[in-house]
Structure 1
Amino acid sequence: MLPQFFPPFADAVSLPESPASSSLGKALELLDLFSLTSPLVRIDDVIARFGFPRSTAYRYLKELCDAGLLAPASGGAYSLGPRVIEFERLLELTDPLYRAGQQVLQEIGDPGAVYLLHNLYRDKVLCIYKQGPDVIEYEGRRITVRRARGLPFPLFQGAGSLALLPWLSPHRIRQTYLRNAAEIASSGLGDDWEAFRRVLAAIRRKGYSTSQGTITPFLGGIAVPVLLPEDRKLVGSLAWTVAAGAMTEERVESCAEHLTRAAQAIAREYVKVAADM
């Protein structure tokens, strides 16, 4: 029998309303158009993606510019605005998870290890803090670590992501499955709801997740959730990136124990930082 934290579906399960159902939500959704491959956005891009009338697209772009989230660029294009940089600096100074992770991981002082601290928004996992080298050397091979601060990754790939998923609320897990059943199946996490529940229950019982080569070829990861000490609320995940060839069973167990202690220290520091704000 599966643990109670993964109850079966009710007879009828409905998806929540889209976060973009309001005018504000629709305007903010324009920010999803920006990426490394699309650093500039034009009004025709907005119309093609969302189907807005041209007047509505102009209005949303103007509102985002007025808020400083976008800025006019040459040729009728728009770029991300200066307020994004302001928020980035504010996060570094005030985000409890970032500050707690930075302090604890710097105290650990392992120069050869790559630690990655993650947070979650929507169905994306974002690396908010990285400590360690950008390249890992193993048996003569130099392997670049692709995860870095500010890069989002899918919720269903990589140890840092899989360490978050089983500790979400049962309702959110059900809704996540409904939205992403095909992607979950293609990631090897279960071809149906019951199989998906079993995979998550197994990760949760073990207390950590592992992966090999899902984000970066030749690299693997071990990760644990960051859970607050009082109510066990999930606030993030902590991963250790290593060469996949070095992931022996003994080393995985040792790394998982080390990460669990570090995650507990981060959680305690998180509470202190939040209380001082």
Structure 2
Amino acid sequence: MAAPMRAASLAAFLALATTLAAPAASATLGPLPHLQLTPPALLLAADDEEKPAEGDEPKEESTALPDKEVKVGGAVIGESMGGATGFVFKQGFYTQSDLGGFFRLGGFTPSAECDPGVNCKAVLTSQAQPYIGLSIGYDLMQWLGIQLSFGTGFVANAAPYGDAPNSPRDYGVTTLDVGLIASYYFLDRLAVALKLMGGGTFLTPEPDLGEPWYGGNALVGLGVRYATLLPDTFVGLDVNFHGAFAPASSGLLFIPAFSIAPVIKYVF
């Protein structure tokens, strides 16, 4: 009888001790987490909602960046290279080269009707020979520029004098001119150009023994200029009339000539 009573007393003591210790443990460890069980049926339904349906394309992930229009090339081609919006080209210091043909008007050549070594027969033109020209200049504005030109043309079979046995039939005419270049652009990239220049002339060899080898020169030229799509480059064609004159014992020697040459111009 005593053993059951002891067991009951021990059980009651343990229950009382557990009841008293529970608040202290809660204060030390904090509240115990509460677990909530979700039924399996609800978990399967949530998985079906997240998965795309069979045959549907996956959705693209959105970003926080704003949408912007992409422009190929960056700049409008018409504004930088010409076209419907117009063509603007560089102006300033430039160099120019000319390489073409040269011939003089008039002159004299030998003939069987004359004494040997005497240029007695008049000719309409000399034989065509090379012409080389180099120029530097500055564009004062789009339609006007100033230019310094150096050029050499050669004359073949057209002596300056018809009654002088020592007058050469073949000689060179070198000119150093300065003048103005006027241009009119009747199209965006195509212009006509007018040249008015003057300077000095050097004849090699001299027109006759004892004659001066230097003189003056006047030049009038007409040409075209085309502004290419190459950077700062122009091409064209010039037809120039040269009037060279030099002092002589019989008066003033005049040598008229023409040059026809393609032109390449580069602006710095």
Judging by fraction of residues, say which structure has more strand: 2
User: Which structure's CA Rg is the greater one?
Assistant: 2
Q: Relative contact order (alpha carbons < 8 A, sep ≥ 6): 1 or 2 greater?
A: 1
The structure with the greater share of residues assigned to helix is 1
The TM-score, its normalising length taken from structure 1, stands at 0.24
TM-score (norm 2): 0.25
